[in-house]
Structure 1
Amino acid sequence: MSSSSRLTASNLSDQRYCVKPGPFNLITDVDGLLVGNADDDTLKSGVTALVCPKPATAAVQVLGGAPGTRETDLLEPHNAVEQIDAIAISGGSAFGLDAASGVQAALREQGVGFQTGDFRIPIVPSAIIFDLTNGGDKDWGRYSPYRELGYAAVQNAAKTFDLGTAGAGHGALTAIVKGGLGSASCRVGDEITLGAIVAANPMGSVLVGEGPHFWASPFEIDDEFGGLGLPNEFGADATDLRIKFRNLQRGRTPQPGTNTTIGVIATDAVLTKAEAKRLAISAHDGFARAIWPTHTAHDGDLVFAIATGASGQRPDSDQMLEMCAAAGAVMARAIARGVYEAVPAPGDVMPAWRTLFGDSQD
């Protein structure tokens, strides 16, 4: 496809509110956040820890029909705990909820947590994706490895981290190609930064039909997931469910609870829990823009929202509207980046996007 015919964000408007990502184009461009990954090639699974060196306001919105979570009820605006210390995202289905215990252990050693009497309790909400049938060796014995992976992820926490086949996205799959861990960021005006991180493991597809084009292409910035744009014409296979699901789980019929996309939308703005929840709701638009179909009974889709407040900026109603719009765009970009950055590995049950389309020019 020639550059003049590509439909991308860069040629939609020169006045867009989020044309410029942060210096890393990662969620850690939001001041007050660190991210660490820990994974295992044999297991084909892993953990991603999003660490807040200072407690941050947080919320969550669950829209998938089969979520797996821990400590999410406390994030509702009407409940007492206002801030969190970290979020754990893990593979392993329900076994992966052990990852939060490892994250807690690492933070407790650092003296981090909610003070209750003589005790400090690290507040670590978590969620999991299903990656048990991805070709990895899950015969781990009595106890799963996810607690130790969670602990290691905190030790690895930094401003930069790997995408694709890494962390919680290490063993992720989509309907046609491997999934992965994605992240992206953008600026809203001159004062506020938004970022997203996501473990993309949906039942649906991130691609238009069987071609290389990402549904998220209109939001792409600087060719961050190949720069192919959308196709000039949508073929009959663009929304053919039979194509989307024919390879899923080694050709088996999709079952409830066997997929999930988990995202985190973050900002350095000062938000209440209710405003953070509104941001999480808006970030789900990015799922719908990047995955077809999404929010199904087979997926446990959810989005956490974090507001570190590091910028000191409290958005007015107009800025909040822009932030909510940008949240969907940056989440869509993160999903596509996670799939685009995935790499092939021995024992894979699905090909990576790069294996199928790495040299594609159309």
Structure 2
Amino acid sequence: MRNLITDVRGVLVGQAHDAAAATGVTVALFERPTVASVAILGGAPGVRETALLEPEMTVEHVDAIALAGGSAWGLAAADGVMAWLAGQGRGFPIGPLHVPIVPQAILFDLLNGGDKFWAKGEAEAPYRRLGAQAVAQAGADFALGTAGAGFGATTATLKGGLGSASARAATGQTIGALVAVNAVGTATIGDGPHFWAAPYEQGDEFGERGWPASLSPADLALRFKGGTGQNTTIALVATDAVLTKAQCKRLALAAHDGLARALRPAHAALDGDIVFAAATGHSGAPSDAFALTELCATAADVLARAVARGIHAATALPFEGALPAWRDRFGG
């Protein structure tokens, strides 16, 4: 177990970034067409091809899921992913053609100090190129922190980042999470090093700091970043279980509990919090509703851990006024 979403059989991850622009793309590539759904609980989402993921819609499988920075410009990342997949003969069959199915979500990272030249109308945005680069590099190992879609991400108090984690549920299936943390609020408690997700930590995966000795009113006070549309935490949870689209929808909804455990606040009017869920079908189906609930609870715990790992692994951007990274403030 790598403690990454790629511990789920059938899932690979690739990433690419533009350091000068302080933005990037992360792509989860499925080795075969995969059942997926989505739950959107934030008030300001930016998405592509999510309507077809609802259980009543016709298309049953996706080929990849893309996460990107860049606000609405970032939605072009899926174009690059589609082009690469088409070259591999992947996609929904329509006569002699195949249409790759690549749902996507984006986050807002336009004001983090990087040169977003395309937002000034000076040139084409880099996301199609980054999407193609990311999917072409997909593999089992990938970087956390200031990487991929989390390259330019921030929170209210610290540098955001790209996180991942995995676990084996009591049912025997593997669950993994992938998240780009660009939250309107905080992943840590007050001004200290302790993560809201501390009770779910496995070993020392994000510093082993545990809970603070006590929580003060100041610790519980909400801290905000930016304005409407300047945030969003975007995530994917995946399992090797056999699930229907409706069960994937339930998994995505339940996994949002992980965002609520790891971020304060989550699901705000200022956020576009989104969780995709995918089932690669390499292990058995849940035996009953209790087994499905076990998968859902594990997914929430794993996503909470992935959020904290993304913040813990991040490095600060090299721009004036950039937020510090967790390691800058609190050590290794």
Q: In 2, distance between residues paired with 1:91 and 1:172?
A: 8
User: How far 1:190 moved relative to its partner?
Assistant: 5.8
Counterpart position of 1:303: 275
Aligned partner of 1:194 in structure 2 is 175
Q: CA deviation at 1:181?
A: 0.3
State whether residues 181 and 307 of structure 2, in contact with CA within 8 Å, keep that contact through their aligned partners in structure 1.
yes
Q: Pick the aligned partner of 1:264 from 231, 236, 253.
A: 236
2:105 aligned with 1:127: yes
Give the deviation of 1:308 after TM superposition: 0.4
Matched residue, 1:350: 323
Task: Kindly indicate whether the alpha-carbon contact (under 8 Å) linking 2:160 and 2:314 is maintained by their aligned counterparts in 1.
Answer: yes
Alignment of 1:148 with 2:129, yes or no, is yes
1:4: which partner in 2? none
Cα deviation digits, residues 118-148 of structure 1 (max 9, x gap): 1111000001000000010101433100000
Structure 1 residue 40: deviation in Å? 1.3
State the distance in 1 between where 2:316 and 2:56 align: 45
1:41 to 16, 19, 38: 19
C-alpha separation between the residues in 1 aligned to 2:161 and 2:132? Answer: 21
Aligned pair partner of 2:203 in 197, 211, 222: 222
Residue identity in the other structure for 1:238: D
Instruction: Establish whether residue 238 from structure 1 lines up as the match of residue 219 from structure 2.
Output: yes
SS of residue matched to 1:354? helix
- Aligned partner of 2:35 in structure 1 is 57
Q: Distance in 2 between matches of 1:333 and 1:114?
A: 34
RMSD of aligned C-alpha atoms?
1.0
Q: Which residue of 2 aligns with 1:12?
A: none
Structure 2 unpaired stretches of 5+: none
- State the shift of 1:313 in Å: 3.6
- 1:164 maps to 145
Q: Secondary structure at the match of 1:238?
A: helix
Q: Percent identity?
A: 55
Distance, in Å, in 1 between the alignment partners of 2:186 and 2:316 is 18
Kindly report structure 1 stretches of 4+ aligned residues shifted beyond 3 Å.
312-315
The aligned residue for residue 277 of structure 1 is: 249
Within the candidate set 154, 160, 167, 1:179 is matched to 160
Alpha-carbon offset, residue 239 of structure 1:
1.7
SS in 1 for 2:217: coil
Compute the TM-score of the two structures, normalised by the length of structure 2.
Answer: 0.97
Equivalent in the alignment of 1:210: 191
CA–CA distance in structure 2, aligned partners of residues 342 and 154 of structure 1: 22
Query: Aligned residues, how many?
Result: 328
One-letter amino acid of the structure 1 residue matched with residue 258 of structure 2: G
Q: Does structure 1 residue 77 correspond to structure 2 residue 55?
A: yes
State the distance in 2 between where 1:256 and 1:57 align: 32
Work out whether residues 171 and 291 of structure 2, in 8 Å CA contact, stay in contact via their aligned partners in 1: no
Q: Who is 1:337 aligned against?
A: 309
Match of 2:96 among 106, 109, 118: 118
How many Å apart are 1:219 and its aligned residue? 0.2
Q: Output the CA distance in 2 between the equivalents of 1:299 and 1:190.
A: 33
